[in-house]
Amino acid sequence: MSSRNRQRLALVALAFLVAWPPVQHAFVRSFDMDPWAFFGFAMYSSPNLRLNVRAASIEPGPDSVPDWNAIPAGVRDEVHAFALRRSRFGELLPPDALAEAIFASAPELPGVVVRVRRWVLERESARIAFRDRDYRYAPPADSQTENSADRR
């Protein structure tokens, strides 16, 4: 490799090392991504906080109460796998595929709620707190037809 090519390679590497930290920080702030992932320098200044994902059956309507025990046990591995992926990719990864898997294993459910709880460090109080985000899903249209046909 010539000295000119080595210089270019060194400049490209330097440009990447200068440009990547603010880009990664913007992704972390915008999409709630894991600051410890994707070669981030911010990982050294933030705690390694995890998230929890729970799924429940829910009746349609805004005041319905989730039934956390109605989800089949066979879906727990998929919930855990989604939690690992979601902790890394943040809000770029919605739980749509997880809801489809839940409805596939239990088509009789009237609806599903997936609660994503992310533990965060509050800047104002310097305390660790959590933020919940609920994703509500109605059963797919084809399973509603099958369910109504089964009830007759």
Give mean pLDDT in consecutive 10-residue pieces for the chain, a chain of 152 residues: 91 92 83 80 69 88 83 89 91 94 92 91 86 92 47 33
The answer to whether 116 and 92 have CB atoms below 8 angstroms apart is: no
pLDDT at 44: 66
The answer to whether 46 and 120 have CB atoms below 8 angstroms apart is: no
* Whether this model's pTM surpasses 0.75: no
Coil, strand or helix: which one is 138? coil
pLDDT at 43: 65
The answer to whether 102 and 76 have CB atoms below 8 angstroms apart is: no
Residue whose structure tokens are 């390694």? 48
Domain boundaries, the chain: 1-47, 49-152
pLDDT at 136: 93
Model confidence over 121-135: pLDDT tens digits?
887 898 988 989 999
